Amino acid sequence: MTAATLLRQLADTINRRYRRGHIDISAAPVDIAGVPGVNLFDHTRPGRPRPLDTVWHVAAGQPLPSGDGRARVAVFVWGPAYNWTAPTTDVGWAATAVARTAGRWPDQSPGRPPHRQAGGR
């Protein structure tokens, strides 16, 4: 499966949960200079959704954008310093992790999901 397809599945899962009222973020697939990603939007405040974060795909063996080594398996990465990762093999779990941690540093994340670190950290 391509990175764009995996990211689209992630965005679809996040948006389905948002529409059902389970989470307060939505997602939009983007393509930035040929690189697919998913922009996340916060809906916790009245008015327009606020940009929150972007999720990227890192293939197995590729460098992590955080500078913390290489991904051992294909992962989604996000966070203020790309400090969160989730394996692409479980899009549902990744959507839950993204919803709980988007835009947060690890020490700011109440109720953090179990951190199934897939990268080289």
Contacts of 89 (CB under 8 A, 6+ apart): 73, 74
Kindly list the averaged pLDDT for each block of 10 residues, start to end, along the chain of length 121. Answer: 96 98 96 94 94 96 92 94 92 95 72 44 37
Question: What separation in angstroms does the CA of 113 have from each of 30, 42, 44, 62?
Answer: 26, 19, 20, 24
Contacts of 90 (CB under 8 A, 6+ apart): none
Give me the pLDDT at residue 61, please. Answer: 96
* Whole-angstrom distance, CA of residue 110 vs CA of residue 107: 8
Give me the pLDDT at residue 118, please. Answer: 44
Beta bridge partners of 51: 41
